[in-house]
Chains A and B, each alone.
Chain A
Amino acid sequence: MIRLDRRPEPSRAWTIATPFVAVALTMVAGGLMFALLGKDPVEAIRTIFWDPLFGDFASYSRPQLLVKAGPLILIAIGLSLGFRAGIWNIGAEGQYILGAICAAATGLAIYPAETWIVFPAMIVAGALGGLLWAMIPALLKVRFGTNEVLVSLMLVYVAEALLASMSLGLLRNPEGMGFPGSRNLAQYPSAANLDLIPGTGLHWGVALAFAAVIVGQVVMTRHQLGFRVRLAGQSPRAAVFGGVNPGWLVVVCMGISGGLAGLAGMFEVAGPAGRLSIDFNVGYGFTAIIVAFLGRLNPIGILLAGLLMALTYIGGELAQLQMNLPLAAIQMFQGMLLFFLLAIDVLTNFSFRFGRRAVA
């Protein structure tokens, strides 16, 4: 008989080892899945995890690693704060879209004037857009006790409709010959979010993501906010007695995650994407949830998890091109990773015992 015994305190070794074991198991299970699809599993795994970094076309795909990891890390850092406190912002995708819409609208309002103020104004607009969109579920939760998971998620669909409306109507490129989508902000020098070092993919958003990792680490370990967040997550009652106002915590956590998601949207629309269009959002807000958990809700972990997830994205595209592997298989692969992580996580808090229960 196999039993689970609760550990007196979470195992530190397993906390760190879990993601690595999960990745290894996902590779095995994913390989089986690829084999079932009639593809060579070893080649598929190599195409996804190795080729983007060291393959024949690595010089093209390597910069993409930072471009894709940037928004994932930025959003996941924000989400991890709330997740630790038991506040579930699932609508980062919507906040990301709103950040992009507000930033693009600000940039386009000033177009074509060339002044230094454009880029900072867009940053502020992007952060505010995401923050205000996140305030809807936050304030509804505080005021009416509505469930933030459901409200923030509903607002993703509203944001997607708004994005469609903006790229077909108000923000459509007047010189775009009727095609949907806004002007290309990457070609508007004052608004463009270009690579800081050409050819690396390291744009302002990626730099901010790295900064967010450092600030996040400091806040979590050294700042009072981090203490309150951890306290609220571990024991909401103790937190209330300790002077943490739960409503205040909801607003702060949702605000920070919304603002960071909005910023991610801003840097994307001004840089890699260049313009608003109906298919502007590609699911970073949802993948960031996986990144946050894979990184153990820890800033350093999120940095590594974000890079790994970015790798699977690029590798997935490569596998689609070279091996005709469906892109959906990569989505499944990412979902599987999260499953394995959650399953193995049991070892952090419990230990397996074989045999009968000892007499206590």
Chain B
Amino acid sequence: MSNIDPILLLSAIIVVSTPILLAAIGELVVERAGVLNLGVEGMMITGAVCGFVVATATGSPWLGFAGAALGGALLSMVFGILTQLFLSNQVATGLALTLFGLGLSALLGQGYIGVKGPVVPDLYLPGLRDIPFLGPVMFRHDAMVYIALLIVALVWLFLNRTRAGRVLRAVGENHDAAHALGYKVVRLRLAAIAFGGACAGLGGAYLSLVRVPQWTEGMTAGAGWIALAIVVFASWRPGRLVLGAWLFGGATALQLALQASGGVQIPIEYLQMAPYLATILVLVILRAGRAPGSLGRPFHASS
């Protein structure tokens, strides 16, 4: 334990939690609109491959992130059309999206296994980066870390301080009442689903471009599911989402640090279980708040 540097560990937590945070904030908006999309994992891995392919082809990681967001949003529209227009079961469709996304990404990424992608530079923040302790922990990361936090802040503002955000929440709480008031339930939900897909795509691209950084099949390894768990943990509130992502990041970063330090006599396989067990533990200990009223229910104007 002694040779784990706390500054490095905390700094790693920020990096590890970013992809989960990105995917989770997207799903939070989707669920606040009353839609349960279990396809986060599939959209994330599709984003990971799209981002990596675009970034290596153009040499620009930023175009990569844009491509990942687009890929994730496009894939989410398959879910959107099926659940919103064809009124399919959301749980089953979400699962199908994950299975489909895993296959699609493996197909798209065939020629890219072992290829080295472009490097995402750290954002240079003069002054801030030199603050003792806080500087190396918080202010020596790439721009996506801050963009992710910015997106969370903007989502909070949107949901709590704008008219459109309140309409979205109304649709999520009671879609029949919202429909009766003349709000476009289906259109709004499709927009929310696309936003969720784009965020999941960004999260996936963060894995393949920054965190790992390369493309391997199935590289998200459950990150999308953990993002779903964190949304429940956060009681659908953006502020607590950050906390949840950092908690999860902590469990992952700590087990990685323990693996690297070699100081403890725990087999690697058991350390690898830690993030998943931590997620379950968090789900059990912290009772979730109330879910949006219409979550997961199909909407048909006739009923």
Contacts and interface: CB of A to CB of B under 8 A. Distances in A.
Interface in A303-335: 326-335
A204 interface: no
Nearest to B225: A153
Contacts of B232: 147, 150
Interface in B272-287: 272-273, 276-277, 279-280, 283-284, 287
B95 A289 contact: yes
A334 B42 CA distance: 14
B107 A155 contact: no
B303 A6 contact: yes
A140 B88 contact: no
A162 B273 contact: yes
A342 B82 contact: yes
B20 interface: no
Contacts of B257: none
B228 interface: yes
A279 to B, nearest CB: 12
Contact of B302 (A5, A151, A164, A168): A5
Nearest to B229: A150
A169 B38 CA distance: 35
Contact of A335 (B100, B221, B222, B284): B100
Contacts of B103: 328-335
Contact of B86 (A169, A327, A343): A343
B248 to A, nearest CB: 11
Interface residues of A, number: 49
Contacts of B280: 140, 146, 150-151, 154-155
Contacts of A49: none
A88 to B, nearest CB: 6
B96 A157 contact: no
Given A150-B232, A161-B272, A162-B269, A4 B102 contact: no
A229 interface: no
Given A153-B225, A289-B95, A342 B102 contact: no
B162 interface: no
Interface residues of B, number: 47
A24 B101 CA distance: 21
Nearest to B108: A328
Contacts of B91: 88, 149
Q: From A90, A168, A335, name the one whose CB has the most chain B CB atoms within 10 angstroms.
A: A335
A345 B276 CA distance: 35
A339 interface: yes
A331 B102 contact: yes
Contact of B284 (A88, A140, A339, A350): A140
A347 B68 CA distance: 34
A342 B283 contact: no
A90 B100 contact: no
Contacts, number: 138
B93 interface: yes
A157 B276 contact: yes
B82 A150 contact: no
Nearest to B221: A157
Given A4-B300, A157-B222, A328 B96 contact: no
B303 A328 contact: no
Interface string B179-222: 00000000000000000000000000000000000000100011
Given A332-B100, A350-B87, A154 B82 contact: no
Contact of A6 (B106, B110, B300): B300
A165 B269 contact: yes
Q: From B78, B226, B232, B272, name the one whose CB has the most chain A CB atoms within 10 angstroms.
A: B272
A168 B288 CA distance: 38
B79 to A, nearest CB: 9
Contacts of B283: 140, 144, 146-147, 150-151
A176 interface: no
A149 to B, nearest CB: 7
A346 interface: yes
Contacts of A242: none
A240 to B, nearest CB: 18
Nearest to A344: B86
A336 interface: yes
A96 interface: no
A114 to B, nearest CB: 32
B114 interface: no
Nearest to B87: A346
A155 B273 CA distance: 9
Contact of B92 (A150, A161, A342, A346): A342
A154 B88 contact: no
B126 interface: no
A290 B284 CA distance: 29
Contacts of A158: 273, 276-277
A16 B206 CA distance: 44
B99 interface: yes
Given A154-B279, A342-B93, A350-B87, A149 B104 contact: no
A154 B142 CA distance: 29
Contacts of A343: 82, 86, 88
Contacts of A111: none
Contacts of B279: 150, 154
Contacts of B82: 339, 342-343
A133 interface: no
Interface in B42-81: 78
Interface string B101-138: 11111110010000000000000000000000000000
Nearest to B284: A144
Contacts of A151: 280, 283
B89 interface: yes
Contact of B273 (A147, A161, A335, A338): A161
Question: Which 8 pairs show the lowest CB-CB distances between chains A and B?
Answer: A335-B100, A331-B103, A328-B106, A332-B103, A165-B269, A342-B88, A338-B96, A154-B276
Given A156-B222, A328-B110, A334-B99, 4 more contacts: A145-B287, A147-B229, A342-B89, A350-B87
